[in-house]
Structure 1
Amino acid sequence: MATPILAQPDVDSGLRPVPVTNRNGVLEILRMRRDPFSFADEKRLRFGEVSGMNALGIRMVTCSGPEAANEILMNKDRAFANAPAWSYFIGPFFNRGVMLLDFDEHRHHRHILQQAFTPKVLKGYMDEMQPMIAERMTRFPTGKVLMLSEFKQLTLDVALEVFLGLELPKPEADRLNKAFIETVRAGVAFVRKPVPGGRWWKGVRSRKILEDFFYEHIPAKRAEQTPDLFSVLCHAESDDGDRFTDEDVVNHMIFVLMAAHDTSTITMSQMAYHMAKHPEWQQRAREESLALGEHLTYDDLASMEAIDLIMKESLRMCPPVPAQPRMAIKDTQVQGFFIPKGTMVVVPQMANHRRRDIFSHPDMFDPERFSADRAEDKAHRMAWMPFGGGVHKCIGLYFGQMEIKTIMHHLLRGYEWSVPADYVMPMDYSALPVPKDKLPVTMRRR
C-alpha cells in the first residue's frame, strides 16, 4: 500500500513529497506527549528525517536534524513565519509578544526591547536580585521538599521584584502565578474554544487578569524611571525616538514574564534532579560556589564552570521549550521536500538533542560533553539549541542564565539534597516539560 503524501510537488521542481502518517492525528499527538523520544525515533525509522501528519485541523511537518533546523530558523528565503504558527497555540494568551511578531515589525520591537537586556541593564538586575535571592534562600524549606513548587515560587518572586519592581501581597502574587500557569496550559488544549471550565476558557480568563494588572500599574511606571523591566519598557526608545504604546508594554510584559518564569523553573528542576542523582557533580558545583563566597557579582558568573556544564547538559536533555513551530507563508522546501504554503513545520529540538550522530551516549547525563576539549554541542550550529535560533533566538537567555546560576549558587552553599537511588523523575510533556510529581527531594541544611 502506498504511503500517503502531504502534497504533490511540480514534476519539474525536483522536490520530494512529504510522507504522511495515516494514523489518527490526535492519537499521534497523545503518543508524542507520552514519550517524545520513542515517538521521534519511530517516526525517523519509518519515514526518515521529514514526515507529516494531519492533526487539530492543520498540516504539520516534523523536520528532524540540525540541517533542517538551520534551513527553517535561519529562514534566508523568508518563507517561514513565527506569528501564524505560535498564534495557533498561544496567540489568544500571549498576543503580540516578541516571539509572535515577524520580519520588519519583529526587528523594530526587538530593537527597542533589547534595551532591557544590555550588559549594563543586566548588571542592574543582578544587583537587585542577588541580595533578594540570598535572603530567600536562608528560608528555603528542609525535609521533604517539592523542588518544582519551590523554584516556581522563587522565580515568581524574582520576576515580580526585578521585572515589575513591585512587592505584592501573597494572595495577589498567587493569583498572578495561577494566571500564568493557565495561559501556558491553554495552548495545548484539544478543545480550542472557550467552553466553560476547559483549558482554553481558563487561558482566555487568565489573559484578562494579567492585562488588567499591567494596565493598572502603567501610569506609575510612565511617571518615574526605576531599574525594573516594566519601567525600562515604558521609557525605552529606538534610535528614531519610537516608544512602545501601553498595549505594546502590556503584551511584552506578559510574554517576557511568562517566558522567564517558566523556563528558569523547568531548567532548575532538571539541574536539581541530575545533581541529586549524581552527587559528585553536586559537590563539584558546591566547592566552586563556596570558593566564590556568598556575595555573587555579575562578573563571577563566567567563572562558574561546573554549574555552567550542569546547566547546559540539563538544557540538552530537557529543553524547556521542546519544539519550534513555523508556518510556511509560501510554497517552499526543507531538505529537498516540498512544503506547500499554509503548512506548519516543526523543529523538534528536544528529540534533536538526543541524536546519536551528534552526542555520545545521548541518554546519559554527561556535563563534560560541553567541556572545551569535547565540545559536542559545536558539531553544528543547531546541534544544541535550547534557546532557539535565528532572529527569534531567546532575547532573555542571558538574564535566564544569570538568574539560574544565582539561585543554584546560594542553594549549593546552604543545602544538600538527595533522592532515592532508584528514583526516576516522571515527566509530563503535555505542555512545557515538568515533573509530574514536582520532584520530591530530601533537603538538608549544611
Structure 2
Amino acid sequence: MTIRDRIPPLTSIPLPNAVDRRLLTRRRPVSELAAPPPGSGLAPVLGDAGAPVIGHALASMRFGIDFALHHYETYGPVSWMGSFGQRFVVLAGPEATQVALVNKDKAFSQEGWKFFIERFFHRGLMLLDFEEHHLHRRIMQEAFTRDRLTGYARQFGPVLRDGIANWGETGRPRLYWALKRLTLDVATRVFMGMRSESGHAARINRAFVDSVRAATALVRFPVPGGRWAAGLAGRRTLEAYFAENLPAKRRANGEDLFSALCHATGEDGEQFSDDDVINHMIFLMMAAHDTTTITSTAAAYHLAKHPEWQERAREESLALGDELPGLAALDELTTLDLVIKESLRLTAPVPSLPRKAVRDVDVLGHYVPAGSFVNVSPNTNHFSPGHWTDPHAFDPERFAEGRREDKSHRYAWMPFGGGAHKCIGLHFGTYEVKAVLHEMLRAYRWSVPEGYRMRWDYVSLPVPVDGLPVRLTRAV
C-alpha cells in the first residue's frame, strides 16, 4: 500500500474512547490538491479531506502536537488536509516554513489569518500585508522601544507582585486560571491605563476572551448562545470602549500602550488614525495576554515537574533582592531565559500560522496553486529530530552557549513567527513572563504529583484541559 492509496492509522497517540478512535484510525483516501502545470516538473501536493465539512479540525484540536507530527510523518513537509470546510496546504519543517515566512516573492498573504479572525480582530497588525504592513509596523515600533518597555515594566511590576502575593496557600489552585486573571490585570493596566478593580475591567476582559475563542468556532454563524455570536458581541464592546476613551488618550501622553499608539509617529511624520488605534489595540490586547498566559503556564508546569530547575531559578531570583526588577535586573535571570525558551519550544503559544497563496508557487518542488489556504506549523519544527536532540524531553540546556540547538536552522525554533510578521511584542512578552515567574519563585514553591502529565486543549490557543492544578506552598 502506498501513500497515494490510504493513510496509515495513527498508533502513537493513546485513544481512550470510541470518538478518538474514530477520529484518528479511520483510513481515508489520499488525493492530489491540484494537478501541476504540464512540463513544470513539480510534484502534486498530497493529502486527504478528513471527515465531511469539519475535516481534521476536531482531531487537530483534540491532539494538537501529536496530530501535527503524525500528519508530517505521513505526508512530509508539503501536504494538504481538510479543515473548517476548506483545503489547507500544510507546510511543516524548517525548510518549508522558510519559503512561506521569508516570502521573498510575496506569494503568501495574511489572508489566511483573515479566514479565522477577521471578524474579531479586523485590521490588526498581523492581518495587514506588504507595504501597508511595513508602514504600520514602523509606526507601531515606537510603542515598543527600550524606553517604552522600561515604562511598561514599572507598571506591571507592582501588579504582578501584589497579585501573586494574594494567591495565598489555597491547596491545589488551577494555575492557568490564576495566571490568566493576573495577565489580564497587567493588560488592562499596562495597555489601557485601567485599574483592574475598575467597573469596566471585568466586562472588557470577558469581551477579549469571547473574541479569541470565536476564531475557531465550527459553527461560523451568529447562532444565539454560540461562540461566534459571543465573539461578535465582544468585538462591539471593545470598539465602543476604545472609541469612547480615545480622545482623552490623544490629549494626554501617558505610559500605557493605548497612549503610545495615539502618539506614535513614523519616520516621515505618519500617525495612526483613530480607527487604526482601535483596531491595533484590540489585536494587541489579545496577542499580549493570551500568549503570556500560555507561556507562563508552560514554564511553571515544567518547573513543577523539574524541581531542580525551579531551585536553580529561585536562587537567581532571590539574589536580586526585594526591589521590583527593571529590565536590567530581569536580564540577569539567565536560568529563566533557558526555561522559557524550552517551554516555548515544547508548547508554541500560536501553534499555526495561516497564510494564503496569492499566486502559483513552488514549495520544495511541490505545486501550490494560487488561492490555496496555507498553514505553517511551528509545532512540527520544534520537534524535528533532525534539529533537536531527544525533542520530546525537557532540556533547557539545549539553548545554552556551546549547544544552541536553536541555531541548527533559522526556523527550527520559531515561537514568535518569523519574517516580516515576526511578533513585534516578543521582548515585552518575554520580560512579562520572566517577571511573572520571578515573583512566583520569590513567593512560593509549587509541585505536581509524580507521573502527572498536563494535556493541552487546542480549541483556540493552547489551554490546559484541567487548568494545571498545583500544590502551592510559601517559599519561606
Query: Do they fold alike, i.e. is TM over 0.5?
Result: yes
The answer for the alignment partner of 1:131 in structure 2 is 158
The answer for the alignment partner of 1:255 in structure 2 is 283
Partner SS, residue 53 of structure 1: strand
Confirm or deny that 1:382 pairs with 2:406: no
**The 10-residue stretch of structure 1 (185-194 or 90-99) with the greater mean CA deviation from structure 2:** 185-194
Instruction: Judging by fraction of residues, say which structure has more helix.
Output: 1
Alignment of 1:152-163 (within 5 A): 152-163=180-191
Using the alignment, how far apart are the partners of 1:242 and 1:22 within structure 2?
46
Alignment of 1:288-303 (within 5 A): 288-295=316-323, 296-303=325-332
Please state how far the C-alpha of 1:44 moved relative to its aligned partner.
2.7
Confirm or deny that 1:274 pairs with 2:302: yes
Using the alignment, how far apart are the partners of 2:321 and 2:97 within structure 1?
41
The answer for the alignment partner of 1:226 in structure 2 is 254
Please state how far the C-alpha of 1:203 moved relative to its aligned partner.
0.6
**The 10-residue stretch of structure 1 (383-392 or 414-423) with the greater mean CA deviation from structure 2:** 414-423
Confirm or deny that 1:331 pairs with 2:360: yes
**The 10-residue stretch of structure 1 (257-266 or 124-133) with the greater mean CA deviation from structure 2:** 124-133
- Specify which of 131, 134, 142 is matched with residue 107 of structure 1: 134
Partner SS, residue 144 of structure 1: coil
The answer for the alignment partner of 2:19 in structure 1 is none
The answer for the alignment partner of 2:371 in structure 1 is 342
The answer for the alignment partner of 2:82 in structure 1 is 54
- CA contact under 8 A between 1:73 and 1:389: conserved in structure 2? yes
* Equivalent position amino acid for 1:291 in 2: A
TM-score by length of 1: 0.97
Partner SS, residue 176 of structure 1: helix
Give RMSD over aligned pairs: 1.4
Using the alignment, how far apart are the partners of 1:148 and 1:171 within structure 2?
24
Confirm or deny that 1:76 pairs with 2:70: no
- Closer, same or farther in 2 for the Cα pair 1:275/1:5, shift >3 Å? same
The answer for the alignment partner of 2:443 in structure 1 is 414
**The 10-residue stretch of structure 1 (292-301 or 59-68) with the greater mean CA deviation from structure 2:** 292-301
- CA contact under 8 A between 1:264 and 1:400: conserved in structure 2? yes
Partner SS, residue 51 of structure 1: strand
- Specify which of 46, 51, 56 is matched with residue 24 of structure 1: 51
* Equivalent position amino acid for 2:292 in 1: S
Using the alignment, how far apart are the partners of 1:334 and 1:279 within structure 2?
44
* Equivalent position amino acid for 1:254 in 2: I
- CA contact under 8 A between 1:222 and 1:234: conserved in structure 2? yes
Residue by residue, what CA displacement relative to the aligned partner does 1:159-214 show, whole Å, maximum 9, x if unpaired? 11111112253553222221111111111111111111111111101100111111
- Closer, same or farther in 2 for the Cα pair 1:224/1:65, shift >3 Å? same
Structure 1: tracts of 5 or more residues without a match: none
**The 10-residue stretch of structure 1 (50-59 or 364-373) with the greater mean CA deviation from structure 2:** 50-59
- Closer, same or farther in 2 for the Cα pair 1:343/1:137, shift >3 Å? same
- CA contact under 8 A between 2:64 and 2:457: conserved in structure 1? no
Residue by residue, what CA displacement relative to the aligned partner does 1:359-416 show, whole Å, maximum 9, x if unpaired? 1111111111111111111100100000000000000000001111111111101111
Please state how far the C-alpha of 1:124 moved relative to its aligned partner.
1.3
The answer for the alignment partner of 1:245 in structure 2 is 273
**The 10-residue stretch of structure 1 (381-390 or 143-152) with the greater mean CA deviation from structure 2:** 143-152
**The 10-residue stretch of structure 1 (384-393 or 43-52) with the greater mean CA deviation from structure 2:** 43-52
The answer for the alignment partner of 1:15 in structure 2 is 42
- Specify which of 348, 371, 380 is matched with residue 351 of structure 1: 380
Structure 2: tracts of 5 or more residues without a match: 6-29
Identity among equivalent positions (%) equals: 49
Partner SS, residue 79 of structure 2: strand
Please state how far the C-alpha of 1:225 moved relative to its aligned partner.
0.6
* Equivalent position amino acid for 2:231 in 1: G
The answer for the alignment partner of 2:12 in structure 1 is none
Alignment of 1:35-54 (within 5 A): 35-54=63-82
- Closer, same or farther in 2 for the Cα pair 1:179/1:304, shift >3 Å? same
Using the alignment, how far apart are the partners of 1:260 and 1:66 within structure 2?
25
- CA contact under 8 A between 1:61 and 1:346: conserved in structure 2? yes
Alignment of 1:392-407 (within 5 A): 392-407=421-436
* Equivalent position amino acid for 2:56 in 1: E
Please state how far the C-alpha of 1:435 moved relative to its aligned partner.
0.3
- Closer, same or farther in 2 for the Cα pair 1:168/1:308, shift >3 Å? closer
**The 10-residue stretch of structure 1 (414-423 or 392-401) with the greater mean CA deviation from structure 2:** 414-423
TM-score by length of 2: 0.91
Please state how far the C-alpha of 1:27 moved relative to its aligned partner.
4.2
Using the alignment, how far apart are the partners of 2:198 and 2:466 within structure 1?
24
Partner SS, residue 10 of structure 1: coil
Please state how far the C-alpha of 1:42 moved relative to its aligned partner.
2.8
Partner SS, residue 8 of structure 1: coil
Residue by residue, what CA displacement relative to the aligned partner does 1:33-53 show, whole Å, maximum 9, x if unpaired? 221333233323332221112
**The 10-residue stretch of structure 1 (423-432 or 44-53) with the greater mean CA deviation from structure 2:** 44-53
Confirm or deny that 1:172 pairs with 2:211: no
The answer for the alignment partner of 2:27 in structure 1 is none
Using the alignment, how far apart are the partners of 1:42 and 1:139 within structure 2?
43
- CA contact under 8 A between 2:56 and 2:82: conserved in structure 1? no
- CA contact under 8 A between 1:294 and 1:410: conserved in structure 2? no
Residue by residue, what CA displacement relative to the aligned partner does 1:328-371 show, whole Å, maximum 9, x if unpaired? 01111211111111101111101221111111111111111111
The answer for the alignment partner of 1:181 in structure 2 is 209
Using the alignment, how far apart are the partners of 1:40 and 1:131 within structure 2?
40
Partner SS, residue 62 of structure 1: strand
- Specify which of 179, 182, 201 is matched with residue 229 of structure 2: 201
Confirm or deny that 1:305 pairs with 2:367: no
Please state how far the C-alpha of 1:275 moved relative to its aligned partner.
0.6
- CA contact under 8 A between 1:36 and 1:351: conserved in structure 2? no
- CA contact under 8 A between 1:233 and 1:244: conserved in structure 2? yes
Using the alignment, how far apart are the partners of 2:118 and 2:49 within structure 1?
29
Using the alignment, how far apart are the partners of 2:359 and 2:377 within structure 1?
22
The answer for the alignment partner of 2:176 in structure 1 is 148
The answer for the alignment partner of 2:8 in structure 1 is none
Residue by residue, what CA displacement relative to the aligned partner does 1:2-61 show, whole Å, maximum 9, x if unpaired? 541011111221111101215326242211222133323332333222111233332211
Using the alignment, how far apart are the partners of 1:57 and 1:410 within structure 2?
45
